[in-house]
Chain A
Amino acid sequence: MANRYSLWSLIKNGLKHHESWQPAWKSPQPKKNYDVIIVGGGGHGLATAYYLAKEHGIKNVAVLEKGYLGGGNTARNTTIIRSNYLWDEAAHLYEHGLKLWEGLSQDLNFNVMFSQRGVMNVGHTLQDMRDIERRANANLLNGVDAVVMTPQEIKDMVPLIDISHRTRYPIMGASFQPRGGVARHDAVAWGFARGASELGVDIIEQCEVTGLIIEGGRIKGVNTSRGDIMADRVGCVAAGNSSVLAKMAGLRLPLESHPLQAFVSESMKPCIDTVVMSNAVHGYVSQSDKGELVIGAGIDSYLGYGQRGSPHVIEHTAAAIIEMFPSFSRVRMNRQWGGIVDVSPDACPIISKTRIKGLYFNCGWGTGGFKATPGSGNVFAHTIAHDDPHPLNRAFSLDRFATGHLIDEHGAAAVAH
């Protein structure tokens, strides 16, 4: 790697007043032809390009991004990583991702600041607790770590949480995945971009795809704001804008794009060293390395591409957090944002071939795509390279909405979707 990061490189560049660092990735002009084009330069798209080059030897690849790298949902989520899904297919897919996260910083030679601080899913009703027990057992059978906790154990781990019976929805227990955690969102995009660029992938920013060139049921290339670019294989990883891309190919997807909002507080001293999520009161919170509380909740109900939602959703989220953490009621919020999430009917992704030869879609991650970034890129790269799905994403095909083999994680996982 041309500019490998290490303690030695830090000292060397420090002595040169940090003026001779090289850009982490190249910004070439688009060529006329590629073997594979990836549409969408977020975490998933960059990871796909990285694994195509690294594991499948396909290096003549372009990643086309209409804005800047990782400026969409990669930068607009709450960075929670876990794999405690109920159904086998989903658990295996997300666990594959989690295992890749565990070695990602070393693999990329880029610190993605993956912190395995654990993820706690709190239950507030008897049915919540039954679902939690069921899911924890299912997780253990699938080799995913899971612990069921009592309110006192929760209190010992998170002293600020209110486990009393004064609350409207008293906390009755939780599931805990110790290997879950958070990572730094930008670093994931940058790390994959740098890794892919080193391997010869062209990363092209400010290049919007405006059309797909299809002849005789085969993809031939894409029209972009920077001219036509040809390729026999095109992978679309455009999250909230997937339906827009699909329409260019005359396809319909089972997706609805919704705004999902999140917000962060002012920086505070460390007060919560894990991730606490509640599906019943509907909110989740963790503390970033800068000391901000990172808070999120559910989607706005309506369709929206506007990267903003309605204020009453924020109010409900804040109410849920204060229900669990009364002491946060005086915390001031710093900033708030919205991302566009592509929600599928069964809350599971679509990583699939399409009826157009050479056109692939990786979408429908809904509100939980960040945690899967390396896993998603890894199996999607396999799907594109072999024109055949990886065993882990075979069940996540577009066909399942015709055959009825849905993977119903909506609510089944007892986590905030």
Chain B
Amino acid sequence: MLVITCPYCQEAREEEEFSYAGEAYIARPAVPEEVDDATWGDYVFHRKNPRGWHWEQWQHVAGCRKVFAVKRHTVSYEIAGSWTLADGKALYLEEQA
């Protein structure tokens, strides 16, 4: 059972209160009409699916219902932290750079 902290409620709660909402910070092509099918398919379907640290979205469905970002390890399931989507994105971009 994962124990996740909601950055809005500021409380650590059990996983059952939350619902997984997939990989975080997938960039939508800026002008969808102009990209080819392969690029669009990549955006819609293809995922990083890393074995290691993963930035993902969780929704606090049984609480505030807000979606936020969590950085979690996909092998040890250790959670490095959780942030609002905006705060997390800054950290995420810093890591990617």
A residues near B (Cβ < 8 Å) are 241, 243-244, 247, 252-257, 301-306, 310-312, 345, 401-404
Contacts and interface: CB of A to CB of B under 8 A. Distances in A.
Interface in B16-33: 16, 19-20, 22-23
Contact of A301 (B19, B47, B48, B75): B19
A401 B15 contact: no
Given A301-B20, A302-B56, A402 B37 contact: yes
B83 to A, nearest CB: 17
Nearest to B36: A402
B76 interface: yes
B47 A254 contact: yes
Contacts of B37: 402-404
B94 interface: no
Nearest to B37: A402
A312 B45 contact: no
Contacts of B47: 243, 252-256
Contact of B15 (A253, A255, A310): A310
B49 A253 contact: yes
A243 B15 contact: no
26 contacts: A243-B50, A243-B51, A244-B50, A252-B42, A253-B46, A254-B45, A254-B46, A254-B47, A255-B49, A256-B47, A256-B49, A304-B75, A306-B74, A306-B75, A312-B1, A312-B16, A345-B44, A345-B45, A401-B41, A401-B42, A401-B46, A402-B37, A402-B40, A402-B42, A404-B37, A404-B41
B80 interface: no
Nearest to A400: B41
A45 B41 CA distance: 28
Interface of B: 1-2, 15-16, 19-20, 22-23, 37-38, 40-42, 44-51, 54, 56, 72, 74-77
For the complex of A and B, 8 pairs with smallest distance between CB atoms: A402-B41, A243-B49, A254-B45, A301-B20, A252-B46, A401-B45, A401-B41, A402-B37
A44 to B, nearest CB: 19
A211 B51 CA distance: 15
A284 B65 CA distance: 32
A254 B23 CA distance: 12
Contacts of B45: 254, 345, 401
Given A244-B51, A310-B1, A312-B15, A402 B75 contact: no
Given A402-B38, A402-B41, A306 B1 contact: no
A279 B40 CA distance: 32
A304 to B, nearest CB: 6
B46 A305 contact: no
B19 A305 contact: no
A386 to B, nearest CB: 25
Nearest to B45: A254
A302 B20 contact: yes
Contacts of A306: 74-77
B1 A311 contact: yes
Contacts of A404: 37, 41
A130 to B, nearest CB: 28
Given A253-B47, A255-B47, 20 more contacts: A243-B49, A243-B50, A244-B50, A247-B50, A252-B47, A253-B46, A254-B45, A256-B47, A256-B49, A257-B51, A302-B2, A303-B23, A304-B74, A305-B51, A306-B76, A310-B2, A312-B16, A401-B41, A402-B38, A403-B37
B48 A304 contact: no
A303 B76 CA distance: 11
B74 A305 contact: yes
Nearest to A344: B45
A255 B23 CA distance: 12
Contacts of A244: 50-51
Contacts of B38: 402
A253 B37 CA distance: 15
